[in-house]
Chain A
């Protein structure tokens, strides 16, 4: 029986909090398992450094992901090369795994448009800041793949628990059900939409059960158990591409997890939640859980862990160096991409702008 065929209130787990196997270990080769661990470490270290850059005034407001690495990496690593990802604004780890260089993520949060320019071959939509607004896009993208007969392709969409309250969530999932689109709707239920707890978003027992109303499958998974996340995401992707007799393509996955840090660096979570709760969830930290499993099964040892730590530090340091040494965007770039070609009015505004820059220099514009 598929891992998806269960009561939405019954949470899928593979590892317990100590990394001991309590469920069915998915079929993943050793190398991929170690990569999963490496990327989770990379995401965590990146996150720590990014928060620190913001604190030092080297980057703008940034949304941290610590605690959510298991959900991001465990799901993204299940995608095939041709699959697409439609993120919210917190998927730095999943985006990295799917080929978006860390430098790009840094540039975006440093306020450079270039951060939104996905490299060729990276199948990721730009991060969506307005909550849930990306969900219908994911349905449309998957629908396009189906209409064009590209049956080997699925689209995963990430969003949070708060997003399930928005109309776009309903409309996106409803279309997916009606048109049977190859979608995986991956809800990172991290318990808090800024200061508003999950219980204030919906009176539903679970978020996964909302799938029932759309006529699609819903499954709840321990989102801090990367192996369980992999299992359900893989099963959902397979079903999206090759549904069995009587099966629908789309799936809603509710990955139950916790954000250890603030909503963004502009937020102070101590105002609305207590340390005791945070500590309770930190005991479920996905990184030591996977590490314990990998050590226990002989896939990594101290030496390997140290090598990974070194690698991770180097890659993040290099990315920061690259982002900070990237030239400031030329101000005239803001006139370049509103349309395929500048309209006469935009051209006139551009010329006026350049004349002002010529006359006053950058000091004529920059504040402080």
Chain B
């Protein structure tokens, strides 16, 4: 299979392109996704390729976008609506929570929603207010939804194709900080990366560091730096926020007995809390130190002059790992 060297945002586009070619039921809709090719160019060229009926510029109305996608999905189409920034999801939140996650359950499986709601999320790009938050846990809290966050170009295309083929609705959150930060090999043909499986990015024996999305980069950097101090850390990229791959988490933790969770979302009710509880429930007797959470603070995401102080930095991650190791 031939491959290409793509960024994450190019892998999003390639995943959409690949699946739209294979399946006529797949369509893209949202604000500025058509002629403009998306504000991040995630849908570039798709409108030229597939036309107005499959790449649809909608009115500026997120409840309308999510709600009509639900109706389309119930009729058997596979809509992939885009919300321009995850901070603009909230007019559609009622549709997401009251219907998108519950249609299957409410109809005892009679109607299903094979749809994927895509949105760039997260901070670090010097963006205006309301453009930088990480609120993946809002969606993880809703049963019936799957929540996926890739961190490499390869995973992005493979997970996106899995999400489109999944019979259930998926919230696909894209870490825009690393949309163009690096390239990776991405097969030209279709392939899938399974939803619900974490990936061990680096094996280690002293401490397990759990992270996802844009935070995988400072985490891996911190872990490399700590090698000099004789710390051998394992890094697990969670990839699917819900349903959580508890097996991989527990397996890694049983090996190391120490854990650090890194995410940019606020600490309170963040994924770190869920991972910590999982460890408590399933591996208590292996625990050698308190689980350390390196997370966003429990304050509103600051305007960009201070965002570097809010986001977990390499130094903060290093310090968190030291704390867990030296306990």
Contact = CB atoms under 8 A, between A and B. Distances in A.
B36 interface: yes
A196 B32 CA distance: 6
B270 to A, nearest CB: 13
Interface size class of A (residues with CB under 8 A): 35 or more
B131 A129 contact: yes
B246 interface: no
A264 B319 CA distance: 39
B32 A195 contact: yes
Interface string A250-283: 0000000000000010110001100000000000
Interface of B: 31-32, 34-37, 39, 57-64, 87-88, 90-91, 124, 126-131, 267-268, 297-300, 302-310, 313, 315-316, 319
A121 B61 CA distance: 34
Contacts, number: 135
Contacts of B297: 334-335, 346, 349, 353
B63 A333 contact: no
B298 A130 contact: no
Contacts of A201: 59-60
A254 to B, nearest CB: 16
Contact of A271 (B37, B303, B319): B37
A160 to B, nearest CB: 9
Interface in A332-368: 333-335, 338, 343, 345-346, 349, 353, 356, 359-360, 363-367
A111 B126 CA distance: 8
15 contacts: A111-B306, A113-B303, A162-B59, A162-B60, A166-B91, A167-B91, A194-B36, A196-B58, A271-B37, A272-B36, A329-B305, A335-B299, A349-B297, A349-B298, A367-B124
A334 B131 contact: no
Contacts of B32: 194-196
Contacts of A113: 302-303, 305-306
B269 to A, nearest CB: 12
B292 to A, nearest CB: 11
A111 B303 contact: yes
A202 interface: yes
Contacts of A335: 297, 299
Interface in A184-231: 193-196, 200-202
